[in-house]
Structure 1
Amino acid sequence: MRSDRLLSIMLLLQTHGQLPAGTLAERLEVSVRTVMRDVEALSSAGVPVYTVRGPHGGIALLPGFRTDVTGLTTDEARALFVLLSGRAHAELGLGRAIGSALRKVMAALPASHRPDADLASRRVLIDPARWRGGPSQPAPDLAVLQEAVFGDRRLSLRYRHGGDSRPRSYTLDPYGLVNKAGVWYLVADHRGEPKLFRADRIASAEVTDQPVRRRDGLELAGLWDTLRRRIDDIPTPVPVTVSVRRDILVRFLRIHQADVSPSAPPAGAGGDAERVSVELRFRSLGAAEALLAFGPDVEVVEPAELRHALARRAAETAALYAEGR
């Protein structure tokens, strides 16, 4: 809509100062001619916008002009820059919307706070999709990790890997922190290779006096996506179709969110049936046997070999308790 584009032009100029018409056109995905027409419309509406001709020219607002369309306090605006990952917004079809929202929030911030807000958006990510695995431990004190991340310092870490009782020592170059459905992770380079460290397995951490050595052109969001895919992407997944009672569907999806097939239609969409079909994928048939924990509320429709395995497990369990010990 044109009204949204006019507002975006004002906010971009308010945030960045004078900008070439070509830059505005690229940012808004329109032609330079459209940008010039919009500038004329803003001027006619009383917005003090003007053009500067020449090789170093562009479009600008008169000094001192500001518009605050958000109604947010500075702290509220800062908080919004710790957002869901770009992947989550893209999957919801909100990629462009979040970009527009961030421009509005950034323009509302005092100039002195904009660098901090921008840094927050590049150093902390929130990813709501739950991973497979056991429950998380209580959240650790993240103060030392934050100090290294925001202070651009290397981090000395003693870390206990899963199944390993002895902590190992690392010197890391941190890129940022990710909250994955309530579990905090540190994304950092170790000897030039990206690694993921679960915060509740950190035995000790100390910020060094050495400046961080991040690789050029790499940001937290891109590294997180790479590391996440190493865990999420199953080379040869076992497809499983289940029938779930509608009244437990929300709880079921919360627990098995990471196992839902990405190509499956949205679960629960369509009808008032008592049971809903859900398409899942697991690393192995053994991993899929966890579905037995839901009892009759979740029925495996296919594959047949998984149905047989669950029937056998259920029979063994029933026989155990039938002995009356």
Structure 2
Amino acid sequence: MKSSRLISILLLLQTRGRLTAAQLAEELEVSVRTVYRDVEALSAAGVPLYGDAGHAGGYRLLDGYRTRLTGLTTEEAEALFLAGVPGPAAELGLGSVLAAAQLKVRAALPHELREHADRVSGRFHLDAPGWYADADETPYLPAVADAVWNSRVLHFLYRRWREPTDVERRLEPYGLVLKAGRWYVVAGPGPRTFRVDQILELSTSGEEFTRPEGFDLAAYWTAYQRDFHERLHRAEAVVRIAPGTRLSGPAGHAVTVNGRTEKDGWTCATVPVESVDQAHDDFLRLGTAIEVLEPPELRARIAATIVELARRYA
């Protein structure tokens, strides 16, 4: 545990520069006294580490000092090469950069860790998009990524699902998100979320913007997804499900949490649905393994479809 913490201190100082004992303690979730002892241990081991006193002081490494990656554990080395994601890197124009970086990291690894990393690369491959979705054409992705990186304003023509479908937008791109093989750009003012494959035309004027202080892309995306699902499933349906039948997504979760098993073995539950139309199509796929009890309009809609199917196949 201590050796891992010493390596963490070394890498934190190497990547961030000067850090106070309090900052190191907060990062490592230990006491300041523990940090003092660890710094002494590093100095005794010959690491060129020194501290500055005063309000603006802290610990730092001697300029130019770099450590080799000998502190990686077997699991960390495996995870590093498992998370390569070559497809998205290539889409961003970083395929060759990723390959070069992995080559350098591999060369810096001890022999036994290098073998583990090679085994992972040869036995696992990440392919995020689903099977039955056509690949999105994103010709403007590299330009959007460049604008994100350099904090430059984007002007683009965007196609949305409602009228008017094609609209012009001036946006300040804060970050890019890859979700299920599809790229999204999160941009201000707002912020708002846009699909990169729906950008029809794009231009940059060279105008720069200031990224909002404290904006957390990961936190925004988590909240965005939660709000999206809440907006998507605003209606409810009461259903009975045959034994062994499973619903997917939020409906399946609702059955697991709130479903009650009846004497005949069927499960009754209130589940979230997007709309009557969507629920009609989803529930019909289950055939006789499900019965809709409420709302009345959904039950009547499914009953009418069943009557029509019976007439057609009679």
TM-score (norm 2): 0.63
Judging changes above 3 Å, is the alpha-carbon distance between structure 1 residues 173 and 208 closer, same or farther for their aligned structure 2 residues? same
Any idea what SS the aligned residue of 1:193 has?
coil
User: How many Å separate the matches in 2 of 1:49 and 1:300?
Assistant: 72
Any unmatched runs of 5+ in structure 2?
A: 90-101, 107-127, 258-265
In the alignment, which residue of structure 2 is the partner of 1:66?
A: 67
- 1:243 Cα deviation after fit: 4.7
User: How many Å separate the matches in 2 of 1:182 and 1:297?
Assistant: 34
User: How many Å separate the matches in 2 of 1:202 and 1:78?
Assistant: 27
User: How many Å separate the matches in 1 of 2:137 and 2:243?
Assistant: 33
Judging changes above 3 Å, is the alpha-carbon distance between structure 1 residues 153 and 276 closer, same or farther for their aligned structure 2 residues? farther
In the alignment, which residue of structure 2 is the partner of 1:269?
A: none
1:275-301 CA distance string (max 9 Å, x none): 999985223444322323533485357
In the alignment, which residue of structure 2 is the partner of 1:312?
A: 303
Judging changes above 3 Å, is the alpha-carbon distance between structure 1 residues 152 and 161 closer, same or farther for their aligned structure 2 residues? same
Query: Which gives a bigger RCO, structure 1 or 2 (Cα 8 Å, sep 6+)?
Result: 1
Any idea what SS the aligned residue of 1:321 has?
helix
**8 Å Cα contact 1:178-1:184 kept in structure 2:** yes
1:73-102 CA distance string (max 9 Å, x none): x9998869x89xxxxxxxxxxxxxxxxxxx
Judging changes above 3 Å, is the alpha-carbon distance between structure 1 residues 290 and 40 closer, same or farther for their aligned structure 2 residues? farther
1:163-200 CA distance string (max 9 Å, x none): 436411111111122222122222212xx332222223
In the alignment, which residue of structure 2 is the partner of 1:172?
A: 171
- 1:230 Cα deviation after fit: 3.5
1:282-324 CA distance string (max 9 Å, x none): 234443223235334853576585884475155234224225x
1:256-292 CA distance string (max 9 Å, x none): x365548956xxxxxxxxx999985223444322323
Any unmatched runs of 5+ in structure 1?
A: 84-104, 110-127, 266-274
User: How many Å separate the matches in 2 of 1:172 and 1:262?
Assistant: 38
**Residue 288, structure 1, aligned to residue 288, structure 2:** no
In the alignment, which residue of structure 2 is the partner of 1:186?
A: 185
**8 Å Cα contact 2:18-2:59 kept in structure 1:** yes
| Letter matched to residue 138 of structure 1 | D
- 1:225 Cα deviation after fit: 3.9
**What are the residue-to-residue correspondences of 1:39-188 with 2, within 5 Å?**
39-43=39-43, 46=45, 48=47, 50-52=49-51, 54-55=53-54, 56-63=56-63, 64-68=65-69, 69=72, 138-141=136-139, 142-164=141-163, 166-188=165-187
> Aligned residues, how many?
262
**Residue 195, structure 1, aligned to residue 200, structure 2:** no
Judging changes above 3 Å, is the alpha-carbon distance between structure 1 residues 276 and 7 closer, same or farther for their aligned structure 2 residues? farther
User: How many Å separate the matches in 2 of 1:241 and 1:2?
Assistant: 55
In the alignment, which residue of structure 2 is the partner of 1:322?
A: 313
**8 Å Cα contact 1:259-1:280 kept in structure 2:** yes
**8 Å Cα contact 2:237-2:292 kept in structure 1:** no
